[in-house]
Amino acid sequence: MIVAASTGCFPEMPLPEIMENLDRLEYTSVTIMIGGSGQQLQPGDVLRDFERCRQLCRDTHRLNIVSYWLEMEPEEPRYYDKFAAVCKLAKATKVVTLTMPSGKLGIPFNEEVERLRKLVSIAKLEGARLSIRTQAGRLAEDPDTLTVLCDNVDGLGVTLDPSNFIYGHEKPRDYEKILKYVHHVLLRDTRSDQFQVRVGQGKVDFGRLINQLRRHQYHQALCVDIQPMPNVDHLGELRKLGLLLESML
Protein backbone atom coordinates (compact mmCIF):
# COMPACT_ATOMS: atom_id res chain seq x y z
CA MET A 1 0.00 0.00 0.00
CA ILE A 2 1.01 3.59 -0.57
CA VAL A 3 -0.14 6.87 1.00
CA ALA A 4 -1.67 9.50 -1.26
CA ALA A 5 -3.72 12.69 -0.89
CA SER A 6 -6.71 13.98 -2.80
CA THR A 7 -6.74 17.30 -4.63
CA GLY A 8 -10.21 17.60 -3.08
CA CYS A 9 -8.41 18.56 0.15
CA PHE A 10 -7.97 22.01 -1.41
CA PRO A 11 -11.39 22.85 -2.93
CA GLU A 12 -10.64 26.52 -3.57
CA MET A 13 -7.11 26.12 -4.97
CA PRO A 14 -5.97 25.68 -8.61
CA LEU A 15 -4.44 22.34 -9.51
CA PRO A 16 -0.79 23.49 -9.96
CA GLU A 17 -0.80 25.13 -6.52
CA ILE A 18 -2.25 21.98 -4.95
CA MET A 19 0.59 19.91 -6.36
CA GLU A 20 3.13 22.33 -4.90
CA ASN A 21 1.53 22.04 -1.46
CA LEU A 22 1.40 18.25 -1.54
CA ASP A 23 5.02 18.11 -2.69
CA ARG A 24 6.04 20.34 0.25
CA LEU A 25 4.10 18.04 2.57
CA GLU A 26 6.24 15.16 1.18
CA TYR A 27 3.39 13.25 -0.40
CA THR A 28 4.49 11.16 -3.36
CA SER A 29 1.08 10.19 -4.80
CA VAL A 30 -2.16 12.01 -5.56
CA THR A 31 -5.80 11.39 -6.47
CA ILE A 32 -7.06 14.08 -8.83
CA MET A 33 -10.67 15.19 -8.44
CA ILE A 34 -12.60 16.08 -11.58
CA GLY A 35 -15.85 17.93 -10.95
CA GLY A 36 -17.26 19.32 -7.73
CA SER A 37 -17.46 23.00 -6.81
CA GLY A 38 -13.76 23.87 -6.64
CA GLN A 39 -11.41 25.57 -9.09
CA GLN A 40 -10.07 22.28 -10.39
CA LEU A 41 -10.84 20.28 -13.51
CA GLN A 42 -14.42 19.79 -14.64
CA PRO A 43 -15.66 16.87 -16.77
CA GLY A 44 -16.64 19.32 -19.51
CA ASP A 45 -13.08 20.68 -19.57
CA VAL A 46 -11.72 17.21 -20.34
CA LEU A 47 -14.24 16.74 -23.15
CA ARG A 48 -13.71 20.20 -24.71
CA ASP A 49 -9.93 20.57 -24.38
CA PHE A 50 -8.43 17.16 -23.81
CA GLU A 51 -4.83 18.10 -24.62
CA ARG A 52 -4.74 21.02 -22.16
CA CYS A 53 -6.16 18.80 -19.41
CA ARG A 54 -3.66 16.06 -20.20
CA GLN A 55 -0.77 18.51 -19.88
CA LEU A 56 -2.22 19.94 -16.67
CA CYS A 57 -2.47 16.49 -15.10
CA ARG A 58 1.06 15.62 -16.13
CA ASP A 59 2.45 18.66 -14.29
CA THR A 60 2.31 17.01 -10.87
CA HIS A 61 5.66 18.01 -9.30
CA ARG A 62 6.73 14.37 -9.59
CA LEU A 63 3.68 13.11 -7.69
CA ASN A 64 2.35 9.83 -9.04
CA ILE A 65 -1.34 9.94 -10.01
CA VAL A 66 -2.98 6.89 -8.44
CA SER A 67 -6.60 7.58 -9.41
CA TYR A 68 -9.16 10.05 -10.68
CA TRP A 69 -12.19 10.97 -8.58
CA LEU A 70 -15.05 12.03 -10.86
CA GLU A 71 -17.99 13.93 -9.35
CA MET A 72 -20.73 13.94 -11.99
CA GLU A 73 -24.46 13.17 -12.01
CA PRO A 74 -26.29 11.21 -14.76
CA GLU A 75 -28.54 14.23 -15.45
CA GLU A 76 -25.61 16.22 -16.80
CA PRO A 77 -25.58 16.83 -20.58
CA ARG A 78 -23.31 14.43 -22.49
CA TYR A 79 -22.79 12.38 -19.35
CA TYR A 80 -21.36 9.30 -21.06
CA ASP A 81 -19.23 11.38 -23.46
CA LYS A 82 -17.67 13.19 -20.51
CA PHE A 83 -17.01 9.90 -18.74
CA ALA A 84 -15.40 8.46 -21.86
CA ALA A 85 -13.14 11.54 -22.09
CA VAL A 86 -12.02 11.05 -18.48
CA CYS A 87 -11.29 7.38 -19.23
CA LYS A 88 -9.18 8.50 -22.18
CA LEU A 89 -7.36 10.93 -19.86
CA ALA A 90 -6.73 8.09 -17.42
CA LYS A 91 -5.14 5.99 -20.15
CA ALA A 92 -3.01 8.92 -21.35
CA THR A 93 -1.69 9.48 -17.82
CA LYS A 94 -1.29 5.77 -16.98
CA VAL A 95 -4.06 5.70 -14.37
CA VAL A 96 -6.30 2.68 -13.86
CA THR A 97 -8.71 3.48 -11.01
CA LEU A 98 -11.69 5.83 -11.42
CA THR A 99 -14.07 6.73 -8.57
CA MET A 100 -17.66 7.92 -9.13
CA PRO A 101 -20.78 8.31 -6.97
CA SER A 102 -23.44 5.64 -7.03
CA GLY A 103 -27.05 6.49 -7.78
CA LYS A 104 -29.10 8.44 -5.23
CA LEU A 105 -31.45 6.62 -2.89
CA GLY A 106 -34.78 5.99 -4.56
CA ILE A 107 -33.43 5.22 -8.03
CA PRO A 108 -34.72 1.87 -9.37
CA PHE A 109 -32.12 -0.82 -8.71
CA ASN A 110 -32.24 -2.26 -12.24
CA GLU A 111 -31.75 1.22 -13.71
CA GLU A 112 -28.65 1.70 -11.57
CA VAL A 113 -27.27 -1.69 -12.61
CA GLU A 114 -27.68 -0.78 -16.30
CA ARG A 115 -25.99 2.60 -15.81
CA LEU A 116 -23.04 1.05 -14.00
CA ARG A 117 -22.69 -1.72 -16.58
CA LYS A 118 -22.46 0.89 -19.33
CA LEU A 119 -19.87 2.90 -17.40
CA VAL A 120 -17.78 -0.19 -16.67
CA SER A 121 -17.84 -1.18 -20.36
CA ILE A 122 -16.69 2.32 -21.39
CA ALA A 123 -13.90 2.25 -18.79
CA LYS A 124 -12.69 -1.16 -19.96
CA LEU A 125 -12.16 0.18 -23.48
CA GLU A 126 -9.39 2.42 -22.06
CA GLY A 127 -8.00 -0.14 -19.60
CA ALA A 128 -9.60 1.57 -16.59
CA ARG A 129 -11.67 0.13 -13.77
CA LEU A 130 -14.62 1.86 -12.14
CA SER A 131 -15.36 1.94 -8.44
CA ILE A 132 -18.24 3.61 -6.61
CA ARG A 133 -17.71 5.49 -3.38
CA THR A 134 -19.40 4.54 -0.13
CA GLN A 135 -21.51 7.64 0.54
CA ALA A 136 -24.56 8.60 2.59
CA GLY A 137 -27.75 9.32 0.68
CA ARG A 138 -26.83 6.97 -2.15
CA LEU A 139 -27.23 3.29 -2.89
CA ALA A 140 -23.62 2.69 -1.88
CA GLU A 141 -24.30 3.81 1.70
CA ASP A 142 -25.41 0.28 2.57
CA PRO A 143 -22.88 -2.61 2.52
CA ASP A 144 -25.57 -5.15 1.59
CA THR A 145 -26.82 -3.12 -1.38
CA LEU A 146 -23.25 -2.41 -2.44
CA THR A 147 -22.44 -6.11 -2.39
CA VAL A 148 -25.42 -6.88 -4.63
CA LEU A 149 -24.40 -4.10 -7.04
CA CYS A 150 -20.85 -5.45 -7.33
CA ASP A 151 -22.16 -8.98 -7.81
CA ASN A 152 -24.46 -7.81 -10.63
CA VAL A 153 -22.00 -5.52 -12.43
CA ASP A 154 -18.96 -7.49 -13.54
CA GLY A 155 -15.76 -5.52 -12.92
CA LEU A 156 -17.31 -2.92 -10.62
CA GLY A 157 -15.28 -2.02 -7.53
CA VAL A 158 -15.64 0.04 -4.37
CA THR A 159 -13.92 3.19 -3.18
CA LEU A 160 -14.09 2.74 0.58
CA ASP A 161 -14.73 5.84 2.69
CA PRO A 162 -15.06 4.41 6.23
CA SER A 163 -16.32 7.75 7.60
CA ASN A 164 -19.71 6.95 6.11
CA PHE A 165 -20.02 3.88 8.34
CA ILE A 166 -19.23 5.90 11.49
CA TYR A 167 -20.90 9.30 11.07
CA GLY A 168 -24.59 9.21 11.93
CA HIS A 169 -24.42 5.76 13.53
CA GLU A 170 -24.51 5.05 17.26
CA LYS A 171 -22.11 2.18 16.63
CA PRO A 172 -19.82 1.94 13.56
CA ARG A 173 -21.35 -0.28 10.88
CA ASP A 174 -19.57 -3.46 9.82
CA TYR A 175 -18.33 -3.25 6.23
CA GLU A 176 -16.13 -6.36 6.14
CA LYS A 177 -18.21 -7.91 3.34
CA ILE A 178 -17.28 -5.18 0.83
CA LEU A 179 -13.52 -5.23 1.42
CA LYS A 180 -12.95 -7.82 -1.32
CA TYR A 181 -14.28 -5.28 -3.85
CA VAL A 182 -12.15 -2.32 -2.71
CA HIS A 183 -10.09 -0.56 -5.41
CA HIS A 184 -9.39 2.70 -3.58
CA VAL A 185 -9.63 4.16 -0.05
CA LEU A 186 -10.42 7.71 1.16
CA LEU A 187 -9.51 8.64 4.75
CA ARG A 188 -10.03 11.25 7.47
CA ASP A 189 -10.92 10.91 11.16
CA THR A 190 -14.63 10.84 12.07
CA ARG A 191 -17.01 10.63 15.02
CA SER A 192 -20.63 9.54 15.09
CA ASP A 193 -21.72 13.18 15.52
CA GLN A 194 -19.20 14.83 13.17
CA PHE A 195 -18.13 13.70 9.71
CA GLN A 196 -14.62 15.16 10.05
CA VAL A 197 -12.62 15.87 13.18
CA ARG A 198 -8.94 16.49 13.89
CA VAL A 199 -6.73 13.46 13.45
CA GLY A 200 -6.74 11.39 16.64
CA GLN A 201 -10.04 12.80 17.96
CA GLY A 202 -12.30 10.42 16.04
CA LYS A 203 -13.26 6.76 15.88
CA VAL A 204 -11.45 5.59 12.72
CA ASP A 205 -9.12 2.73 13.68
CA PHE A 206 -6.55 3.18 10.92
CA GLY A 207 -4.36 0.28 12.07
CA ARG A 208 -7.26 -2.18 12.12
CA LEU A 209 -8.42 -0.98 8.69
CA ILE A 210 -4.96 -1.50 7.19
CA ASN A 211 -4.81 -5.02 8.62
CA GLN A 212 -8.28 -5.80 7.22
CA LEU A 213 -7.25 -4.55 3.78
CA ARG A 214 -4.07 -6.61 3.88
CA ARG A 215 -6.10 -9.74 4.57
CA HIS A 216 -8.03 -9.02 1.37
CA GLN A 217 -4.82 -8.52 -0.65
CA TYR A 218 -5.34 -4.78 -1.09
CA HIS A 219 -2.15 -3.17 -2.40
CA GLN A 220 -3.34 0.20 -3.73
CA ALA A 221 -3.52 3.67 -2.20
CA LEU A 222 -4.69 4.98 1.15
CA CYS A 223 -5.80 8.46 0.13
CA VAL A 224 -6.01 11.28 2.67
CA ASP A 225 -9.11 13.42 2.07
CA ILE A 226 -9.29 16.15 4.71
CA GLN A 227 -11.32 19.33 4.14
CA PRO A 228 -10.29 22.69 5.69
CA MET A 229 -11.79 23.26 9.15
CA PRO A 230 -12.20 26.62 10.95
CA ASN A 231 -9.35 27.49 13.32
CA VAL A 232 -7.46 24.29 12.46
CA ASP A 233 -4.03 24.05 10.78
CA HIS A 234 -5.13 22.35 7.56
CA LEU A 235 -1.63 21.57 6.29
CA GLY A 236 -0.73 20.26 9.74
CA GLU A 237 -3.66 17.84 9.67
CA LEU A 238 -2.69 16.62 6.20
CA ARG A 239 0.88 16.08 7.34
CA LYS A 240 -0.21 14.35 10.55
CA LEU A 241 -2.46 11.78 8.88
CA GLY A 242 0.03 11.15 6.09
CA LEU A 243 2.82 10.44 8.57
CA LEU A 244 0.52 8.30 10.74
CA LEU A 245 -0.44 6.09 7.79
CA GLU A 246 3.18 5.82 6.63
CA SER A 247 4.21 4.66 10.10
CA MET A 248 1.65 1.83 9.94
CA LEU A 249 2.73 0.44 6.57
- Tell me if 98 sits within 8 A of 65, measured CB to CB: no
Which CATH topology does 2-161+181-187+220-248 take? TIM Barrel (3.20.20)
pLDDT of residue 127: 95
pLDDT bucket at 59, cuts 50 / 70 / 90: confident
In the DSSP assignment, the letter for residue 153 is S
For 79-104, how does the pLDDT look when each residue is reduced to its tens digit (9 = 90+)?
Answer: 999 999 999 999 999 999 999 999 99
pTM of the model: 0.93
H-helix or E-strand spanning residue 241: helix 234-248
Domains of the chain by residue range: 2-161+181-187+220-248
Residue 158 CA neighbour count, 13 Å, CB half: 28
- Residue of 86, 98, 97 whose CA lies nearest to 42: 86
Residue 38 has pLDDT above 70, yes or no: no
Distance CA 112, CA 148 (A): 11
- Tell me if 96 sits within 8 A of 128, measured CB to CB: yes
Segment 162-179 mean pLDDT: 93
pLDDT of residue 61: 80
- Tell me if 199 sits within 8 A of 189, measured CB to CB: yes
For 125-141, how does the pLDDT look when each residue is reduced to its tens digit (9 = 90+)?
Answer: 999 999 999 999 999 99
